[in-house]
Amino acid sequence: MSALSFRFLDEEAMIAAGVENMDRCVDVMEETFRLMGQGDYIMTGSNGHSHGAEIDFPDESPIPGMPLNTGDDRRFTAMPAYLGGRFGTTAVKWYGSNTANRDKGLPRSIHVIIVSDTDTGAPLGIMSGNLVSAMRTGAVSGLGARYLAAPDAKVLGLVGPGVMAKTAVRAFMSARPSISTIQVKGRGQSTLDSFKDFVAAEFPQVTVEVKDTEEAAVRGADIVTYTNTGSTGREKYPMIRREWVKPGAFIALPSASSLDEGLERSDVRKVVECGLMYELWETEVPRPWYDHLNLIGMRFQEMLDEGTMTPEERVELGDIVADKAPGYEAGVISVLAIGGIPVEDVAWATDVLRQAEDKGLGIELPLWGAPPMA
């Protein structure tokens, strides 16, 4: 029997392999959603469309030493999926998350990705996954802009200028390089300063205008995104009001946010990455769903349940990319709900792993010389 080995990529090797190449990442996400539109993918769960399996910790426990929830976000999640096309791999993203990590100088979530050969099940690569996750999240916003934003979009309205905002800006600039102004609303001066420094270094042609309110950040923007962090409970989610939104604007929402009644009306286009993922979440999340899972896609599910939205009004991003549904329409506001799906991680991790192989990056580690129980 053959010996088996896999390639280990630490974050330095991932960066050298091109994990931060946003132009390529947006293109890879386009491939991914085209394959999804064709049905060439598999996820886990009872309906084959699960976000993943999650371990949550209790707020209180009588058991000594039991880890407790911290800040609504102590959890472990495994996100497996298969993606076809030129990828043809099966992978899983495994991560632990704890808001208290920031007090230890660590990111809230720490990600590791295993990419496997779909035929044999053998591991092909094990890699640091934080940049994969951050880049693909931003890239999906950029892909949405490629298909749903005005081709000559010039103004980006952004609320929440943290880490997620930086990858989102890279993606929007990749999709719509005509952007010349960013209207930003933040809470802390240090975060705003860091964001302004980032834009000045990477996109010196873009002017950053700091705004005092969400309304001022949104008004007049061709593209709007909320990349803020937040707790659960809809009363805590920042609101977007239709009167603020420019006709024809594209709104990308990868984080907690609320739409007013005007933006919930049927003439506003509502797009999701994977509707069946939200439908499965209905069985896993207590009611009211949107209070427990702060993604705008869960509000869409509530609207479907209430009868205030029809199934035909919910559009799949994969159908738009696969030319099964129309893209940008002048004057029509579009909202893209971004919840994160495993196939996105499979695609970008596989692509970066192959780039690393081509460049000889990482460390080749043996799994075994001969299988001990073959």
What pLDDT does residue 72 have? 63
- Return the structure tokens found at 84: 């076809």
Q: Split the chain (374 residues) into runs of 10 and give each run's mean pLDDT.
A: 90 98 98 96 96 93 92 88 98 94 91 98 98 97 98 98 95 98 96 97 98 98 92 90 98 95 98 97 94 95 97 96 96 97 98 98 95 79
Per the CB < 8 A criterion, the answer to whether 294 and 256 are in contact is yes
What pLDDT does residue 25 have? 98
CA distances from 162 to 109, 111, 184 (A): 15, 19, 11
What pLDDT does residue 100 have? 86
Distance CA 15, CA 130 (A): 11
- Return the structure tokens found at 300: 């869409």
Q: Strand 123-128 vs strand 109-117: parallel, antiparallel, or unpaired?
A: antiparallel
What pLDDT does residue 71 have? 67
Distance CA 129, CA 120 (A): 23
In degrees to the nearest 10, what's the CA dihedral of 39, 40, 43, 49? -10
Give me the DSSP letters along 206-254. Answer: PEEEE-SSHHHHHTT-SEEEE-----SSGGGSPEE-GGGSPTT-EEEES
Distance CA 244, CA 128 (A): 40
What pLDDT does residue 229 have? 76
- Return the structure tokens found at 294: 């702060």
- Return the structure tokens found at 19: 């994990």
Rounded to 5 degrees, what are φ and ψ at 15?
A: -65, -45
What pLDDT does residue 99 have? 84
What pLDDT does residue 14 have? 98
Helices (H) and strands (E) in the chain, counts: 12, 18
Q: What is the pTM of this model?
A: 0.96
Query: Would you tell me the crossing angle of helices 342-359 and 22-38 to the nearest 10 degrees?
Result: 130
What pLDDT does residue 300 have? 98
What pLDDT does residue 73 have? 79
Per the CB < 8 A criterion, the answer to whether 316 and 271 are in contact is yes
